[in-house]
A = this chain, B = another copy of it.
């Protein structure tokens, strides 16, 4: 069974970021949030709670179930493998993965019954070395090296996004057909032949020499559009209307 990684925010400073993290988690199918020594004491007072809830845009479920810990050691004690998200520049010797490579690693571990988690450091400073040595590997998001500081919730979103993509079955590139389906080739060709017939009648093909290249060009454009049955019907109406002439000849 594929269990999503636990998200662990270490010393988060702004309740808005906790709320936005919950939102990003809900967006991407992550479920379990843990907070280590958040700046504002827990449970939050009403003002802070409202700011967090507002930033979460309705991800209450994540926030209600969030667990609070005094130390990172306690927060990760039940996990089998821990990833620390960091920027590029640490001189420690670590295994480093991109988010895209970390997800299959997590899925493999999860399939073995391991419980995995991802650490995110506090705003501005990120994770410090004392946190990083508690992790088994680092995840570094490839970003513009001259401007690599991500907002906390943005970093969580990238991990969650990669997680969600790994199991999503959406085709990469397709035509969405609403309530219709692509027209059969027969329906399409009936339309095209009628168009060509009406163009002949209207004197569109000035010379017979240009005819082959013109007809190929028209067909290519129409084929590229991959018309639905409904669209073929609509365009039958279009050419019918145009063929009547703009001054409504009988």
> Quick one: which of B26, B95, B153 contacts A173, CB cutoff 8 A?
B95
Contacts of A195 in B (CB 8 A): none
> Quick one: which of B94, B153, B154, B176 contacts A94, CB cutoff 8 A?
B176
Contacts of A96 in B (CB 8 A): 173-176
Against B, the Cβ 8 Å flags (1 = close, 0 = not) of A104-124 are: 010000000000000000000
Determine the residue in chain B with the shortest Cβ distance to A124. B57
Using a CB-CB cutoff of 8 Å, which residues 23-61 of chain A contact chain B?
23-24, 26-29, 57-59
Indicate if the CB atoms of A101 and B173 lie closer than 8 Å.
Answer: yes
The total of chain A residues at the interface (CB under 8 A) is: 54
Determine the residue in chain B with the shortest Cβ distance to A140. B170
Q: Is A20 an interface residue (CB 8 A)?
A: yes
A121 to B105, CA, bound (A): 35
Identical copies of this chain, number: 2
Q: Is A164 an interface residue (CB 8 A)?
A: yes
Against B, the Cβ 8 Å flags (1 = close, 0 = not) of A61-95 are: 00000000000000000000000000000111111
Contacts of A125 in B (CB 8 A): none
Q: Is A143 an interface residue (CB 8 A)?
A: yes
Q: Is A207 an interface residue (CB 8 A)?
A: no
Indicate if the CB atoms of B172 and A98 lie closer than 8 Å.
Answer: yes
Indicate if the CB atoms of B144 and A164 lie closer than 8 Å.
Answer: yes
Chain B: minimal CB distance from A210 (Å): 27
Indicate if the CB atoms of A20 and B151 lie closer than 8 Å.
Answer: yes
Among A177-185, A197-205, A215-223, A242-250, the stretch that binds chain B is A177-185
